[in-house]
Amino acid sequence: MNKQNYFIVVLSIVLLSGCSTRGIKVYSNYKSQQSYSHDSSRYNNKVSKKTYSHPTMKPYVVRGIKYYPTVVNVGDEFSGIASWYGPDFHGKLTSNGETYNMYEMTAAHKTLPMNTIVKVTNRSNGLSTIVRINDRGPFVATRIIDLSNAAARKINMVGKGTAPVTIEVLGFESKGAKKISSTKHLRTKPQDTQKAAFALQIGSFSSFEGALQTQQQYDKLDGYSTMIKDVDNGGLRMFKVWLGGFKSEKEARDYKSTSIFQNSFIVRDN
């Protein structure tokens, strides 16, 4: 960005941050985020031949390690060590924005899509339980899943703290479901129709060419998409570049704090 455009960016932020955005036009060179349609087909305990990926899964970094949420099949199985978490996290926010309740049948996993329903079997005693993934973790290399206290009790591993388990992907539940549906009614692909309501304003220009260049430079960065907002505020026309696709203000704020856009500001994408 040259000095003239940089000056315009700074000036426009000062002048327009408190203004309404009437007369906005949007220029976008990307397709809208995929929303999975409802699938009324019933789960029939057969392994799906098809793979599915959750549209909001983005790579993330914890303790210097980058994790890549993965594509999964209904029927996939994984083995490893399970642990559980409880009182220290009870009432705090999970990675998908819900409030953690250690008495509900939920779990944390590093890479499975949010709202994946899995069957967890304790290989030491044969006991099993079904949980919904709504959090990220455990961030210990030797462990693959963190169960809620209630789920851990179901497979008799609370006292010992860990157990060797097998995880089987059964299907996908709606976001925020308090109870897991019968496995016969689980969807065979992830569901997420929530509108991406937040974005980062990463530039503001008096010329469309400058905005277009910025849009093209950063589009698809870390899985997010850019758009240009054509804003007319009382004769002062500006082209604002937004980086969008954040499902919550917290997601946008966390990304802003760790990205190259620390000087940007969060806007609501209505």
What's the pLDDT score for residue 251? 81
Torsions phi, psi for 146 (to 5 deg): -115, 110
pLDDT of residue 173: 74
Measured CA to CA, the distance from residue 110 to residue 68 in angstroms comes to: 8
Give pLDDT, residue 98. Answer: 86
**For 141-174, what is the HEC assignment?**
CCEEEEEEHHHHHHCCCCCCCEEEEEEEEEEECC
Dihedrals φ, ψ of 35, to 5°? -115, 125
Closest CA to 239 of 200, 269, 214, 204: 204
The pLDDT value recorded for residue 156 is 97
| Domains, the chain | 3-33+196-268 (3.30.70.1070), 60-185 (2.40.40.10)
What is the per-residue DSSP string for 114-127? Answer: TTEEEEEEETTT--
3-class DSSP state for residue 249? Answer: helix
Chain segment 74-122, per-residue pLDDT in tens: 888 999 999 999 888 999 888 888 889 999 999 999 988 888 889 999 9
Q: What is the DSSP string of 57-91?
A: ---EEETTEEE----B-TT-EEEEEEEEE-TTTTT
pLDDT at 222: 83
Q: What is the pLDDT of residue 78?
A: 93
pLDDT profile of the chain (270 residues), mean per 10: 49 40 43 29 31 52 80 86 92 86 93 89 95 91 93 96 94 66 55 60 89 88 84 80 82 86 83
**Rounded Cα–Cα distance for residues 174 and 17 (Å):** 36
Predicted local distance difference test score (pLDDT) of residue 131: 93
Q: Which of 270, 208, 246 is nearest to 29 (CA)?
A: 208
